[in-house]
Amino acid sequence: MSVAVSRTDDGCRLHDGSTVVIIGGGPGGAACAIKLLQQADALSLRLRVVIFEGKDFGVHANQCVGVLSPPIEEVLARELDLHLPPALIKRQIFGYRLHGVRENVLLTGHGAHAGELEHGRATYAVERAHFDRFLLDQARELGAEVVEARVTGIEFVRAADLDEVRVYSESLYEKADVVVGAFGLDEAMLSVFEDVTARSGGRGFERPSKWLKSYLTTIETSARFQTEKLGHIVHAFLLPTSCPRIEFGAITPKGDHILVNIAGEHVTSRDLDQFLQLAEVQALLPGFDAGAINYYEGRFPSSPARRPFGHRYLLVGDATGWLRPFKGKGINTAIITGIRAAEVMLEHGVSERALQNYRRACTDMRGDYHYGVLVRRLMLVGARHFLDPMIDVGKVDPLMYDALFDAVSGHDTYRNIIKRSLKPRLVRKVAARLIRGVKRHRAHRAKRMPDLNVRRMTVRDIDQVLRLDEKITGKPHAAYYESKAAAYISRAPDYCLVAEHRAIIVGFVLGDVRGWEFASELSGWLEIIGVDPDYHGQGVSRALMDELFEKFRRAGVAVVNTMVNWNDGDLIDYFRANGFDRGEYVNLVKRFDEEEQG
């Protein structure tokens, strides 16, 4: 039973027999209950935790896309000793495709590995109701009492010998030492809290003053369609030109259905209708009956609440408004604020002064707010002009690529993204793309020098080619290069070429036509190209590539692949100037050396 406590400092500490009432059993409320019960157990403290939840997660769901992004797995494991059951995961998300007006780019994370399953860096799509039920069941198992009823009122009673919270619901009445508002953006509860916390004369809680509205719909489809069309990628659309009210739209594969959602300060359900009709959106969806879709409405807070804690109360999750504008990661915020609230209550108590520590414990979450607002404003004003140039630069510049990935996935704070990427070099590149237009930045073609002859490579050329390679790399060649070059010539003689100037080999290229591997279509592969440094700028590589591409065309291939080190900006620029763009494949690496050390 809950005990009414006297108005001493000690009375504001949680003690044996204290009751904590949590209003809302979403991720914020459930995480808070789990942490409270685990930590109380460690302190040998008998704590009653009562969660009021109005929804039955077997039937109802909180509106959400259900993307769990890092570091959620790590937070659950480290802070709550919880591991996501595999059955909960509908699909692992490996990356995002960011769509601008004309350009788009596949963003798969640093070093091109967005998801490392069970290493805390993976992103998952889950069914939100299943996730909420999982967390609430964990709280229940630890001893939380879950009351399936909506709270209707709260009263803070402070009299000479009384200092307690009274909580009224559709069924039970509870007396508590502290109340945690984990009710998200429930209008009725926001009003109740604003009202009761202002009653003591001072200024009380004030709800977040700004929102982004969101509409979502689900489209049923086969897993096969998703594998072929979307794979494990979320498609993100920023400010689509023909739907001016939409700030952000997304298409998320969920295994047995696809979830489409839009968000913006002023969006309506009609904007979702329009978004679903965009050609680039329809290209990713199966056929559907536009007249028969279901609409779900939701909102994200986009500004912080005022005074989200006070004497014997605090708020967690959405109700605090401590979310990053644009990429909310609201579930993470809810869980983390829930955990920190529990820690502060147990460590410092539940008086207004004690709960100041809650604000301090969440400084990192609040610190990014102004940077997020800045990024959002910049995007609203200029995205239609500079998003395409940024995407274009991102395709060939790792710094911009990472900045785009981090902004879209929410892997890093806006503060860090701005600090890392606001470099004169990047600004110049984006400005140049903006001024010259995205497609016109190709390097000028060097004029081909006279007397340059491109012909097939023969085994007799191998010595000269390897000497040229040594001159280019400055390193002696490994012995196996000779047999490798010979193997290329015998396997794909048409695609191994040398460029000669007055009987001297000044350049070479080794290519091949292959398919099947990596499930790729039959394609041309440019394996190695080298040009004598004394002949740079004389059109040698261009002549070699022109001849090679002509042969590829004659072989009937439509695509040419090559591989370069992502950090070699000059080489990327060089290939870009010759018409190459960033492709769809991601190179995955397994390191034996690290494995052996580990």
Ligand X SMILES: Cc1cc2nc3c(=O)[nH]c(=O)nc-3n(C[C@H](O)[C@H](O)[C@H](O)COP(=O)(O)OP(=O)(O)OC[C@H]3O[C@@H](n4cnc5c(N)ncnc54)[C@H](O)[C@@H]3O)c2cc1C
- 300 is a contact residue toward ligand X (CB under 6 A): yes
Nearer to ligand X, 144 or 492 (CB): 144
Q: What angle do CA 13, 321, 191 make, to 5 degrees?
A: 75
Give the binding range for ligand X (CB under 6 A) out of 60-68, 373-381, 452-460, 504-512: 60-68
| Among positions 54, 100, 204, 507, the unique one binding ligand X when judged by CB under 6 A | 54
Nearer to ligand X, 65 or 497 (CB): 65
CB of 255 to ligand X, least distance (A): 15
Nearer to ligand X, 60 or 553 (CB): 60
Q: Residue 262: CB partners within 8 Å, gap ≥ 6? A: 214, 215, 216, 243, 246, 248, 249, 250, 271, 272, 275
Q: How many residues does the chain have?
A: 598
Nearer to ligand X, 28 or 325 (CB): 28
- 328 is a contact residue toward ligand X (CB under 6 A): yes
CB of 300 to ligand X, least distance (A): 5
Of 351-390, which residues contact ligand X (CB under 6 A)?
none
- 216 is a contact residue toward ligand X (CB under 6 A): yes
CB of 12 to ligand X, least distance (A): 25
Please tell me whether the peptide bond between 71 and the residue prior to it is cis, using omega within 30 degrees of 0: yes
CB of 185 to ligand X, least distance (A): 6
Give the binding range for ligand X (CB under 6 A) out of 19-27, 113-121, 421-429, 583-591: 19-27
Helix, strand and coil in the chain, % to nearest 5: 40, 20, 35
Alpha helices in 2-71 (DSSP H): 27-42
Q: What's the burial of 521, exposed, middle or buried (CB within 10 Å: 0-12/13-18/19+)?
A: exposed
Nearer to ligand X, 239 or 336 (CB): 336
Site mask for ligand X (CB under 6 A), range 451-480, x = bound: ------------------------------
CA pair distance 69, 236, nearest whole angstrom: 15
Nearer to ligand X, 317 or 524 (CB): 317
- 62 is a contact residue toward ligand X (CB under 6 A): yes
Exposure string over 80-108, b if 16+ CB within 10 A, otherwise e: bebebeeeebbbebbbbbbbbbebbbbbb
Give the binding range for ligand X (CB under 6 A) out of 11-19, 24-32, 418-426, 556-564: 24-32
Given CA atoms 191, 177, 184, 98 in this order, what sign does their dihedral have?
positive
| Among positions 110, 113, 299, 477, the unique one binding ligand X when judged by CB under 6 A | 299
Nearer to ligand X, 271 or 500 (CB): 271
Size of the site for ligand X (CB under 6 A): 38
Nearer to ligand X, 260 or 560 (CB): 260
- 123 is a contact residue toward ligand X (CB under 6 A): no
Structure-block tokens of residue 164: 């307690």
Q: What angle do CA 103, 104, 110 make, to 5 degrees?
A: 135
| Among positions 12, 37, 40, 64, the unique one binding ligand X when judged by CB under 6 A | 64
- 318 is a contact residue toward ligand X (CB under 6 A): yes
| Among positions 33, 65, 154, 393, the unique one binding ligand X when judged by CB under 6 A | 65
Q: Where are the beta strands (DSSP E) in 209-267?
A: 211-220, 233-238, 248-253, 257-264
Nearer to ligand X, 317 or 394 (CB): 317
Q: Residue 312: CB partners within 8 Å, gap ≥ 6? A: 12, 156, 163, 164, 165, 176, 177, 178, 179, 350, 351
The answer to whether the CB of 335 falls within 8 A of the CB of 343 is no
The answer to whether the CB of 122 falls within 8 A of the CB of 116 is yes
CB of 172 to ligand X, least distance (A): 11
In 3D, which of 131, 42, 178 has the Cα closest to residue 332?
131
CA pair distance 192, 215, nearest whole angstrom: 26
Nearer to ligand X, 64 or 84 (CB): 64
- 97 is a contact residue toward ligand X (CB under 6 A): no
Of 136-155, which residues contact ligand X (CB under 6 A)?
150-151
CA pair distance 134, 87, nearest whole angstrom: 11
Q: Where are the beta strands (DSSP E) in 402-534?
A: 452-456, 496-501, 504-514, 523-531
The angle, 0 to 180 degrees and rounded to 10, between the axes of the packed helices 398-409 and 424-436 is 90
- 29 is a contact residue toward ligand X (CB under 6 A): yes
- 329 is a contact residue toward ligand X (CB under 6 A): yes
544: Cα within 13 Å, side-chain hemisphere: 27
**Residue found under tokens 């050390």:** 597
Nearer to ligand X, 214 or 302 (CB): 214
Site mask for ligand X (CB under 6 A), range 176-215, x = bound: ------xxx-x--x------------------------x-
- 308 is a contact residue toward ligand X (CB under 6 A): no
CB of 146 to ligand X, least distance (A): 10
Give the binding range for ligand X (CB under 6 A) out of 11-19, 327-335, 415-423, 466-474: 327-335
Nearer to ligand X, 326 or 552 (CB): 326
Give the binding range for ligand X (CB under 6 A) out of 56-64, 460-468, 491-499, 515-523: 56-64
Site mask for ligand X (CB under 6 A), range 67-86, x = bound: x-------------------
Nearer to ligand X, 67 or 393 (CB): 67
CB of 184 to ligand X, least distance (A): 2
CA pair distance 217, 276, nearest whole angstrom: 10
CA pair distance 417, 408, nearest whole angstrom: 11
Beta bridge partners of 528: 510
CB of 332 to ligand X, least distance (A): 6
CA pair distance 496, 410, nearest whole angstrom: 45
- 129 is a contact residue toward ligand X (CB under 6 A): no
In 3D, which of 248, 165, 252, 172 has the Cα closest to residue 214?
248
User: From residue 346, how far is each of 45, 509, 526 by CA, in Å?
Assistant: 10, 69, 63
- 23 is a contact residue toward ligand X (CB under 6 A): yes
For 458, the 3-state DSSP assignment is: coil
Nearer to ligand X, 27 or 109 (CB): 27
Site of interaction with ligand X (CB under 6 A):
23-29, 52-55, 62-67, 150-151, 182-184, 186, 189, 214, 216, 261, 298-300, 317-318, 328-332, 334
